[in-house]
C-alpha cells in the first residue's frame, strides 16, 4: 500500500513516538499539578515542547497556546478575535478557498452579526493583494488567509498581505496547517499576528495543535472559547495532553533540522510524478506551479471521473480526489471550482501529497497504477470516445434519461 495522502495526515515519526512513550505511564503527571514531582516533570516537559514549537516558527514560547488541533485553533482565533474586538468593528475578510474550519467558523459568526467578505482567487489559486486591500473597511478587524492550500499546495502572497494589514491597522490571521514544518514559516517576519497549525501534518501525533498569538507589536488578545481552570494563559482551559504536546515538540525539532532536505527530495519526486502523469493526454496540473508547497500536486485527467479512477487502484495507492462525498451526492471540490475549473475538470482531479517516508520506488509504482487506471477509464468512456472523434462536447445537449 503506497501512502500519498500526507496532506490529510502524516505517519507519526518513530522518533516522535519514542519521545512520547514515557509520558503515558512512567511520567503520568498533570502539568497543572504543582504540588508534587509528577506534576513538575509534566510541566517541565510541556515547557520544553513549547520552546521547541516556538523555535520552529521563530516565536516567543509565551506566544504558543496548545489546543486539540488546527480546527480548534481556527475557531479560537476567529471567534476569539471577533468577540475581543467587536467594539472596533464586525467585518472579517477571508478567501473562498480557505479550509472548512475557517469558512464554517465565518459562517457561524455571520449568524451572530459579523459581516464577512469572501475574496475570489485567480485560476492559479492565489488571491490578488489589490483586491484584498480594496475590500478593507473602517470596520474591518481581521483578515484570514491560509498560508498554503490543503488541496493544491498553492502559497498565498503572505508578505504583501501582511504589509497591507499593517498599513490599515488590521489583524492578520493565517491557517498555516499545511505549511508549518515543511517550509520556513515565520509569522513575525511576514506580519501575521495569529496563526494556527497542528502536529499531525508534520509527523507528530493527532489531537494536538497550537495557536500562535502575538504578544508585542501588536499585543493580540483572543476571548477563550472553552472556560475552565484558566490553562494556557486563560485562552484555552482543559488538562493538557502531555504525551501529545511532547510529541508535537519533538516533531517540531525534527522539522527544523530536516525540512530543507525533505523539501528538496520531495520536490524532485513530485516533479518526476508530474512529468510522467502529464505525459498522458489531456492531463493538467491545477494551481500556481511557482508558488506552492514542495510535496503536493493536484492533477486533473480530462474526461475521467476522479472517484471512479481511484477505484481502479485504491487497494494499492492512497490519494484523495477532487470530489467530496456529501450525504446525497458527489460534489466537485469547492477549491477547484473557485479557481475557475469546470465541474468536469474538478471532478476528474486527484491530490497526491508526498511525505518524509515516500520512496522513489513507491512513486514509480504509483505512476504505473494511476496511468493504467486513466487509460482503463478512458477505454470505457463514451465521452472520451466522442472527444477523440472531434465532437465539441460543450455543444452536446445531454438528455436527462
DSSP 136: -
pLDDT number for residue 306: 86
CA 190 to CA 174: how far, in whole Å? 11
End-to-end CA distance of the chain: 39
- Annotated catalytic, 12? no
Helix (H, G, I), strand (E, B) or coil at 26: coil
pLDDT of 400 reads: 63
Q: What is the pLDDT of residue 384?
A: 87
C-alpha–C-alpha distance, residues 155 and 165, integer Å: 18
Active-site option among 12, 106, 165, 325: 325
Query: How is residue 155 annotated by DSSP?
Result: B
Burial class (CB in 10 A: 0-12, 13-18, 19+), 209: buried
d(CA 49, CA 44): 9
What's residue 255's pLDDT? Answer: 98
Q: What are phi and psi of 350, to 5 degrees?
A: -125, 140
- Is the distance from CB of 173 to CB of 211 less than 8 angstroms? no
Among residues 266, 267, 202, 198, which one has the least CA distance to residue 11? 202
Distance CA 164, CA 142 (A): 12
Question: Counting beta carbons within 10 angstroms of the beta carbon of residue 89, is it exposed (0 to 12), middle (13 to 18) or buried (19 or more)?
Answer: middle
Instruction: Read off φ and ψ for residue 296, nearest 5 degrees.
Output: -130, 145
Written as one string, the DSSP assignment of 325-356 is E-SSSEEEPHHHHHTT--HHHHHTEEEEE--T
CATH 3.90.1150.10 assigned to 258-391: yes
Q: Are 375 and 336 in contact (CB under 8 A)?
A: no
Give pLDDT, residue 332: 86
Secondary structure class of 143 (helix, strand, coil): strand
What is the rounded CA–CA span in Å between residue 143 and residue 161? 9
> Is the CATH number of domain 13-255 3.40.640.10?
yes
pLDDT of residue 307: 85
pLDDT score recorded for residue 326? 44
Query: Scanning the structure block, which residue is given the C-alpha cell 491545477?
Result: 286
Nine cell digits for residue 82: 471577533
Rounded distance, CA 180 to CA 109, Å? 27
**Can you give the pLDDT at residue 399?**
63
Helix (H, G, I), strand (E, B) or coil at 111: helix
How is the chain split into domains, by residue range? 13-255, 258-391
Query: Are the C-beta atoms of 66 and 232 separated by less than 8 Å?
Result: yes
Residue 102, classed as helix, strand or coil, is helix
Q: Is 359 exposed, middle or buried (0-12, 13-18, 19+ CB in 10 A)?
A: exposed
pLDDT tens string, the chain, 401 residues long: the values are 999 999 999 999 999 999 999 999 999 999 999 999 999 999 999 999 999 999 999 999 999 999 999 999 999 999 999 999 999 999 999 999 999 999 999 999 999 999 999 999 999 999 999 999 999 999 999 999 999 999 999 999 999 999 999 999 999 999 999 999 999 999 999 999 999 999 999 999 999 999 999 999 999 999 999 999 999 999 999 999 999 999 999 999 999 999 999 999 999 999 999 999 999 999 999 999 999 999 999 999 998 988 889 999 988 999 998 665 544 456 789 999 999 998 888 989 999 999 999 999 999 999 999 999 999 999 988 888 888 888 876 766 656 65
Q: How far apart are CA 298 and CA 307, in angstroms?
A: 14
- Helix/strand/coil (H/E/C) assignment for every residue in 163-217: HHHHHHCCEEEEECCCCECCECCCHHHHCCCEEEEEHHHCCCCCCCEEEEECCCC
- Assign 3-class secondary structure to 27-46: CCCCCCCCCCHHHHHHHHHH
Amino acid at each position: 500500500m503506497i501512502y500519498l495522502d500526507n496532506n490529510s495526515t502524516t505517519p507519526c515519526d518513530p522518533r516522535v513516538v519514542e519521545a512520547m512513550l514515557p509520558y503515558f505511564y512512567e511520567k503520568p503527571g498533570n502539568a497543572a499539578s504543582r504540588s508534587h514531582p509528577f506534576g513538575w516533570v509534566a510541566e517541565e516537559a510541556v515547557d520544553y515542547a513549547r520552546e521547541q514549537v516556538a523555535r520552529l516558527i521563530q516565536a516567543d514560547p509565551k506566544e504558543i497556546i496548545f489546543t486539540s488541533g488546527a480546527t480548534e485553533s481556527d475557531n479560537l482565533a476567529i471567534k476569539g478575535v471577533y468577540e475581543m474586538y467587536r467594539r472596533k468593528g464586525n467585518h472579517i475578510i477571508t478567501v473562498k478557498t480557505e479550509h472548512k474550519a475557517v469558512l464554517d467558523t465565518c459562517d457561524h459568526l455571520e449568524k451572530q452579526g459579523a459581516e464577512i467578505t469572501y475574496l475570489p482567487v485567480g485560476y492559479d489559486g492565489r488571491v490578488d493583494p489589490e483586491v484584498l486591500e480594496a475590500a478593507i473597511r473602517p470596520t474591518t478587524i481581521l483578515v484570514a488567509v491560509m498560508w498554503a492550500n490543503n488541496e493544491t499546495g498553492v502559497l498565498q502572497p503572505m508578505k504583501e498581505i501582511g504589509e497591507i494589514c499593517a498599513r490599515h491597522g488590521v489583524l492578520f490571521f493565517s491557517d498555516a496547517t499545511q505549511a508549518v514544518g515543511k517550509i520556513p514559516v515565520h509569522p513575525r517576519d511576514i506580519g501575521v499576528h495569529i496563526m494556527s497549525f497542528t502536529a499531525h501534518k508534520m509527523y507528530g501525533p493527532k489531537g494536538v495543535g497550537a495557536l500562535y498569538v502575538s504578544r508585542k507589536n501588536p499585543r493580540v488578545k483572543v476571548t477563550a472559547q472553552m472556560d475552565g481552570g484558566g490553562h494556557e494563559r486563560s485562552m484555552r482551559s482543559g488538562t493538557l495532553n502531555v504525551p501529545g504536546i511532547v510529541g508535537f515538540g519533538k516533531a517540531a525539532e525534527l522539522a527544523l533540522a530536516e525540512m530543507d532536505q525533505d523539501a528538496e527530495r520531495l520536490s524532485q519526486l513530485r516533479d518526476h510524478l508530474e512529468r510522467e502523469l502529464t505525459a498522458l493526454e489531456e492531463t493538467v496540473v491545477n494551481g500556481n506551479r511557482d508558488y506552492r508547497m514542495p510535496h503536493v500536486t493536484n492533477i486533473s485527467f480530462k474526461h475521467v471521473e476522479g472517484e471512479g479512477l481511484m477505484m481502479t487502484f485504491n487497494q494499492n495507492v492512497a490519494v484523495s480526489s477532487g470530489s467530496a462525498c456529501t450525504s446525497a451526492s458527489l460534489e466537485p471540490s469547492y477549491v477547484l471550482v473557485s479557481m475557475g475549473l469546470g465541474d468536469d475538470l474538478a471532478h476528474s482531479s486527484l491530490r497526491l501529497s508526498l511525505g518524509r517516508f515516500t520512496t522513489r520506488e513507491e512513486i514509480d509504482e504509483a505512476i504505473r497504477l494511476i496511468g493504467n487506471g486513466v487509460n482503463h477509464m478512458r477505454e470505457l468512456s463514451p465521452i472520451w470516445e466522442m472527444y477523440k472523434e472531434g465532437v465539441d462536447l460543450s455543444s452536446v445537449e445531454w438528455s436527462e434519461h
